[in-house]
Structure 1
Amino acid sequence: MTYGQGEFGTRAEQPGGPARLAHFYDRLDSIAYGGDYNPEQWGPETHAEDAELMRVAGVNLATVGIFSWAKSEPAPGAYDFGWLDGHLDRLADAGVAVCLATMTASPPAWLARLHPETLPMTADGTRLHPGSRQHWCPSSPVFRQYATRLVEQLAKRYAGHPALALWHIGNEFGCHISRHCHCEVSTAAFRRWLRARYGTLDALNSAWSTDFWSQRYGDWEEIHTPRTAPSFRNPTQQLDYLRFSSDELLECYRAEKAVLDAVTPGVPVTTNFVPVAKTLDLFTWAREMDVVSYDSYPDPHDPDSVHEAAFSYDVMRGLRDGQPWLLMEQAPSAVNWRTRNGRKQPGRMRLDSWQAVAHGADSVLFFQWRQSRGGAEKFHSAMVPHGGPETRIFREATALGAELAAHPELLGSVPERAEAALLLDWPNWWALEQDAHPSADARMLDAAHAHHRPLYDASVPCDVVPVDRDWSAYKLLLVPNLYSVSQETADRLHTYVSSGGTLLMSYFSGITDEHDRVHLGGYPAPFRELLGLRVEEFEPLPEGGALRFGGGGEGTLWSEELALEGAAPILTYADGRPAATRNPYGTGHAWYLGTRPDPVTMRAILDRARLDAGIRAPDLPVGTQVRTRITADGRRVAIRLDHREGTVTVS
């Protein structure tokens, strides 16, 4: 199969995919399969066994070098890549492609000793120390200098190596130091970022509402990162610091990517995102990546984790407008970092892997290939466990490798475009979950799951999209808790509905602008006409509290006193007050939930809204989902996932 330019649906030229992705895909015959390979932890006898076991398991991609900085630069400027040469040669000879890491995720101890100013500092002034990982200040020019110097040496050495298929920058940015650094270097960088954003102090004072609590600034040097303070800190300062933190980590990524682009312009670049969290604005990050990569660790003890993984995969697919993404890490069985680390029961690894492929993954990779003998992750499962190949885990890994290799047509196939989408915005997420709000129960990820789940249960695909995406192709748009929204985005939502779209929005939406200043004119001011109602008052519920609906079921977490201005109630409380509404607007309809309905009621409302939008659900048993991918030659491949015990029959 080829990946030439100009063919829609080919691996090189999917929407948003740069042509140089062909360099990666041309090295694969089927879905990428393998995982993190850390040969520096083992000796020659193990290396020989690894080569044979990789062949047995069907491994065709290995991620190498994630935590190898200290091995490759044991002293400042004293580079030693000799240990790595033989491993890459051996992998190339075995037909295993390499995703080569830039090794900068964990600096060597000598960097902290020589430059303690590179270590991050918490909001209370505590300096964090080495002995773990990611012990660096994202704003530190010294850290960036050493990191990019290493990357340049690495890129020059392996630019033409036959194993090199993909670059992997850093590792899990924001996992440990997303908001930890409040040192003077970070403070100075924050001030520069604010100058670029606002231009003048007057503009900043206006955006930050600094006339409240006498916080007005007369000099840029008076502004600090939001360090530990006596009481509530300025909410817009906190919001901007979260924006800055995401951007500053992105600058670290960009610095390394610039080196790689200069030395190896034909090799694509990625980095791996942690399970969906509010640390990084992933829509902004994804624009800088050739392909999105993701680490997925659903909890085997949590019955909802299967759905949460599906939601996360829909986020990954949406980051680059439907382009296939890479499952960079998952666990073959147990992890090591939860309070109780449950194992994956027989068959669960296979099901989890196929779920990722069904939702658009072009790889099934694990952390890691061989289970470590020592270190913090020695009890994290691996494809080759401590017990060696004569284990259930390795047998299942081998069977899965053969199964994936038997379906080469899936590699690079395009996930079918959904008719429904869910709006997700990281700045809104940051603003929604700040302190001094009516209730701490308004949580973005919780709300997103509650809105996505009914479509998932009905096996109706749902894309996750940003606020600046074109939504016109979607029949149904879900908007959970859009607390912070610009007038421009509000206007676009009006246009979407008036042009025939169906919108379902939930409580505590349209409250503030992008600077966390309240939209005046009565809640939710930007959406009153669209929704046909006014929110008189918020009434968050006490912990464990609920309000009964007239026809059964209950509202939880939150409620609002709604005054209808044209909308019709579709759900009422037992006392007759409206709990949810529907309003015709233009040629479309806007639905509004003033509370969080229980799951059964939520499913019923979403089913009604979905049918209102003209979206049908397949007739499938409970616990069964189907997702479709479209191959380069136009074939539709359906993948069925059964998440329940026993046998099911489907048409």
Structure 2
Amino acid sequence: MTHPRPHPLTGINRRLGSLAYGGDYNPEQWPPEVWQEDVRLMREAGVNLVTLGVFSWSRIQPRPGTWDWSLTDTVLDLLHEHGIAVDLATPTAAPPPWFTHQHPDARPVTASGTRLAPGSRQVFCPSHPAYAEAADAVVTALATRYAGHPAVVLWHVHNEFGNHNALCYCDTSAAAFRDWLRDRYTCLDALNDAWGTDFWSQRYGDWEEIEPPRETTAFRNPGQELDYHRFSSDALLARHRAEAALLRRLSPGIPLTTNLLGTLEPKVDGYAFAAACDVVSVDHYLPAHDPRGHIDLALNADLARGMAAGRPWLLMEHSTSAVNWQPVNVAKQPGEMHRNSLTHLARGADGILFFQWRQSRAGAEKWHSAMLSHAGTGSRIWREVRALGAGLAALGEVAGTRVEADVALLFDWHTWWALELQARPSSRMRYLDAVRDWYEALWTSGVTCDIVPPGSDLTRYKAVVAPSLYLLSEQDAAHLTRYVHGGGHLAVGCFSGVVDAHDRVHPGGGPGVLREVLGLAVDEYLPLRDGETVRLSDGSAAGLWAERVEPRGCETVLRFAKTAEGGPARGGPAVTRHSHGAGSAWYVATRASAGTLRDLVRGLGGEAGFRPVADVPEGVEAVRRAGDGHSYLFLVNHTDTDVTVPVGGTVIHGCAAGPGAAIPAGGTAVVREEAAPRRS
């Protein structure tokens, strides 16, 4: 009997003997005598994996053709001697000063024509051949030297692709863009049709006439701009693939990853990068302005699992406390770092890492928290870091289990790019706002969802939520229609189904290619003024947007109020439901309140047959992982009140066993259940 090959991250954890735990290690910032203290304290904290070398290019290649491996050799040996494994990074996210000095034309250019200066990271044009040559050289040298080093268990390609330089508008990028367009469209007639270039006399007669969508006198061509986002993401993906190919050839058998940014950075297609990795890893940092940032954290953890196609993934970076790059960098409260870490673990992570191990004394990130802070081992952070390490070591049995969800939420970077281009009906309609609204309704209802791209296999889901599908192809719309017709249940947010992959409006008016499944037509889109709200028939207030909806088979669930408070669509349908085949499709023609969306989710659950993960008080997060006949219920108490949750199993983390899991305010618990519950 053959057994499926284990996931690479499962293999790494088996080698580590537990869940991966650690963070970025930057020994080049410290004298050698500190390194001995570092490894001793790492062992004390339970660290078993560190990322090494992310920003070390200027150390290992101080001059062109000159290599200095002394620091990396010493530190790799030291870590291995102390039983600490290494995620070894290619240092290509930060070219050294000699590179930008020798190749000033390789620095990125903004849409307004400003060539950016060195002095930071990612100061390079992704399409420049000099950068490609230099990056390939350092990756080749690194992989050749350390392919067989026993400390190296994972290769880390680059760092946060596209975080700062995703969109370069230099002449080199322009030439690369034209090559990309030739491959995509083959002929200029197809391109002119896709971009609608007869508008404003933009029709192209020669490929060389095409430039990037730089700043111009009025609005840029939206089809061109959307394609430039795609080209720019692909240009960075090409660099990822080039480095990955070198690593796989020179260091076979060692898996590779790159740290993706989820919703933190919309400029690259996370699904495409994830598909090119052996292990999906992400960075996540709480939005300090949001007191409910733990919901955003859960969203990003579910998105990471979606990018990993449901398989184990790695939290490559998060913070022990404050970050350094937000307008106000709020410190985490006691216990918050532990809750954040357990939430990622609950939602499918099989390793918890931080940026960074030791807090920097100098540089732009010296006020970014770390596992070992400026205050040293006498600090609260250090005590929590040690406690987390011990807790994760005791939860190793969770590794390899999967999160199961009955609901899918559709998420698409291409829709994000298209919705937020210039000259939309409302610049206040933001993609992430819609996603977060609907996700919060699921979260507060206790419902776990998988986050997947349009076009995914949806057959196993009882319901699908699509917060925003402004851009939707006929093929993906037909896929959703078949899902509903076959017995699925679909809920769609406003201004969806409107344009095709080129940002061309689908014929016949809104909601475009979703008219059949939703059973309605939109006569007119009615964006609201700043601060303007409308009243719905359930008494709730809605904002941002309204639509004049004409039912064509659907039933009206909620209306815009018939009085003046109903706004420009007064008296018309605001929430609809349409029976289609064996299933149903719901539509929300406004930005509904949290309460209205929560009621819709619960109504959808009653119809589709999905339920909350567990019976928990409001503000307590419950997520289940299951596999190999066991299941694990994770409970995270985000409230200021002690709670007791009835459970059927053994509490293995967080509180003493009893008739239930007694979880203190701000606390966590993990329960090994007697048997994996059958999905309803």
Range of TM-score over shorter length: over 0.9
1:559 is paired with a residue whose SS is strand
Counterpart for residue 143 of structure 2: 155
1:628-643 superposed matches below 5 A: 628-631=624-627, 633-643=628-638
**Contact kept in structure 2, 1:541 and 1:559, CA below 8 Å:** yes
2:377 is paired with a residue whose SS is coil
For residues 387-409 of structure 1, give each alpha carbon's deviation from its aligned partner in whole angstroms, at most 9, with x where no partner exists: 21111111110011011101110
For residues 385-432 of structure 1, give each alpha carbon's deviation from its aligned partner in whole angstroms, at most 9, with x where no partner exists: 1121111111110011011101110222222x2100111111111111
Identity of aligned residues (%): 49
Which of residues 345, 358, 366 in structure 1 aligns to 2:333?
A: 345
- Of structures 1 and 2, the one with the larger relative CO (CA 8 A, separation 6+) is 1
Q: Do residues 113 (structure 1) and 101 (structure 2) align?
A: yes
State the Cα distance separating 1:78 from its structure 2 match. Answer: 0.5
Q: Do residues 86 (structure 1) and 61 (structure 2) align?
A: no
Deviates most, 251-260 or 451-460: 451-460
Which of residues 473, 486, 492 in structure 1 aligns to 2:460?
A: 473
Counterpart for residue 658 of structure 2: none
| Structure 1: 5+ residue stretches without partners | none
What is the alpha-carbon distance in structure 2 between the residues aligned to residue 407 and residue 187 of structure 1? 51
**Contact kept in structure 2, 1:541 and 1:556, CA below 8 Å:** yes
Q: Do residues 529 (structure 1) and 520 (structure 2) align?
A: no
1:96-107 superposed matches below 5 A: 96-107=84-95
Q: Do residues 72 (structure 1) and 68 (structure 2) align?
A: no
Residues 75/126 of structure 1: CA separation in 2 closer, same or farther (3 Å cut): same
Name the aligned partner's letter for residue 298 of structure 1: L
**Contact kept in structure 1, 2:9 and 2:350, CA below 8 Å:** no
For residues 37-93 of structure 1, give each alpha carbon's deviation from its aligned partner in whole angstroms, at most 9, with x where no partner exists: 011111122111111101110000010000000000000011111111111111111
**Contact kept in structure 1, 2:10 and 2:399, CA below 8 Å:** no
**Contact kept in structure 2, 1:30 and 1:410, CA below 8 Å:** no
2:109 is paired with a residue whose SS is coil
Counterpart for residue 613 of structure 1: 608
Q: Do residues 565 (structure 1) and 552 (structure 2) align?
A: yes
What is the alpha-carbon distance in structure 2 between the residues aligned to residue 644 and residue 422 of structure 1? 26
For residues 126-184 of structure 1, give each alpha carbon's deviation from its aligned partner in whole angstroms, at most 9, with x where no partner exists: 111110110000001110111111111111111111100100011011110111x1111
Which of residues 636, 639, 661 in structure 2 aligns to 1:644?
A: 639
**Contact kept in structure 1, 2:288 and 2:328, CA below 8 Å:** no
| Structure 2: 5+ residue stretches without partners | 563-570, 647-680
Q: Do residues 554 (structure 1) and 551 (structure 2) align?
A: no
What is the alpha-carbon distance in structure 1 between the residues aligned to residue 615 and residue 369 of structure 2? 37
Which of residues 3, 27, 30 in structure 2 aligns to 1:6?
A: 3
What is the alpha-carbon distance in structure 2 between the residues aligned to residue 358 and residue 474 of structure 1? 20
1:278 is paired with a residue whose SS is coil
Which of residues 411, 423, 434 in structure 2 aligns to 1:447?
A: 434
TM-score, with normalisation over the residues of structure 1? 0.96
For residues 348-385 of structure 1, give each alpha carbon's deviation from its aligned partner in whole angstroms, at most 9, with x where no partner exists: 01010001000111111111100111001111111111
**Contact kept in structure 2, 1:335 and 1:380, CA below 8 Å:** yes
**Contact kept in structure 1, 2:262 and 2:270, CA below 8 Å:** no
**Contact kept in structure 1, 2:409 and 2:450, CA below 8 Å:** yes
Counterpart for residue 494 of structure 1: 481
Counterpart for residue 598 of structure 1: 593
For residues 452-479 of structure 1, give each alpha carbon's deviation from its aligned partner in whole angstroms, at most 9, with x where no partner exists: 1111112211010011210111111011
What is the alpha-carbon distance in structure 1 between the residues aligned to residue 538 and residue 174 of structure 2? 55
Residues 140/23 of structure 1: CA separation in 2 closer, same or farther (3 Å cut): farther
For residues 505-548 of structure 1, give each alpha carbon's deviation from its aligned partner in whole angstroms, at most 9, with x where no partner exists: 11111111111111112212312121111101111111111111
1:29-40 superposed matches below 5 A: 29-40=17-28
1:154-553 superposed matches below 5 A: 154-179=142-167, 181-276=168-263, 277-415=265-403, 417-553=404-540
What is the alpha-carbon distance in structure 1 between the residues aligned to residue 258 and residue 516 of structure 2? 43
Deviates most, 229-238 or 633-642: 633-642
Counterpart for residue 625 of structure 1: 621
1:636 is paired with a residue whose SS is strand
Moved over 3 A (4+): 20-23
Name the aligned partner's letter for residue 611 of structure 2: R
Residues 389/427 of structure 1: CA separation in 2 closer, same or farther (3 Å cut): same
Counterpart for residue 566 of structure 2: none
For residues 264-309 of structure 1, give each alpha carbon's deviation from its aligned partner in whole angstroms, at most 9, with x where no partner exists: 1100010101241321111111110111111111134421211011
Residues 23/598 of structure 1: CA separation in 2 closer, same or farther (3 Å cut): closer
**Contact kept in structure 2, 1:208 and 1:234, CA below 8 Å:** yes
What is the alpha-carbon distance in structure 1 between the residues aligned to residue 232 and residue 480 of structure 2? 29
Counterpart for residue 53 of structure 1: 41
**Contact kept in structure 2, 1:23 and 1:267, CA below 8 Å:** no
State the Cα distance separating 1:589 from its structure 2 match. Answer: 0.2
For residues 212-270 of structure 1, give each alpha carbon's deviation from its aligned partner in whole angstroms, at most 9, with x where no partner exists: 00000000000000011000010000000000010000011111101001011100010
2:499 is paired with a residue whose SS is coil
2:586 is paired with a residue whose SS is strand
RMSD value over aligned CA atoms?
1.3
Name the aligned partner's letter for residue 195 of structure 1: R
Counterpart for residue 577 of structure 1: 572
1:596 is paired with a residue whose SS is coil
For residues 563-617 of structure 1, give each alpha carbon's deviation from its aligned partner in whole angstroms, at most 9, with x where no partner exists: 1111110001220321110000000000000111111111111111121111122
What is the alpha-carbon distance in structure 1 between the residues aligned to residue 102 and residue 491 of structure 2? 56
